[in-house]
Amino acid sequence: MGGSTPSGFGGAGEFNKLDADFVRVIEDLIDVLIARQVIRITDLPAQAQEKLFARKSFRDRRPAQALRLYGGDDDGIVSTDFAAL
């Protein structure tokens, strides 16, 4: 059992990717809640706001990394433009 990885996962690298993917899901969930006016960005602690703004800024500079939950280019993708809120 010493060097094996649980459930067939490929070790720390794959676990880190799963964590990064999960963080992206949480980020998108927050975007949806804000867009639907369930929460406001100002409802979050200042440190959380700063981290979300930093990630949004990074994602805006890397459009090829944008998650397309619904397929195509412009078919219901939620904007992460917090400045408009």
pLDDT reported for residue 62: 75
pLDDT reported for residue 13: 86
Which whole number is the average pLDDT over 13-42? 92
pLDDT above 50: residue 4: no
Q: Read off the pLDDT of residues 44-78 as tens digits, 9 standing for 90 and up.
A: 999 999 999 998 888 888 765 555 555 555 544 55
More confident: 75 or 37: 37
Report the 3 state secondary structure along the chain.
CCCCCHHHCCCHHHHHHHHHHHHHHHHHHHHHHHHCCCCCHHHCCHHHHHHHHHHHHHHHHCHHHCCCCCCCCCCCCCCCCHHHC
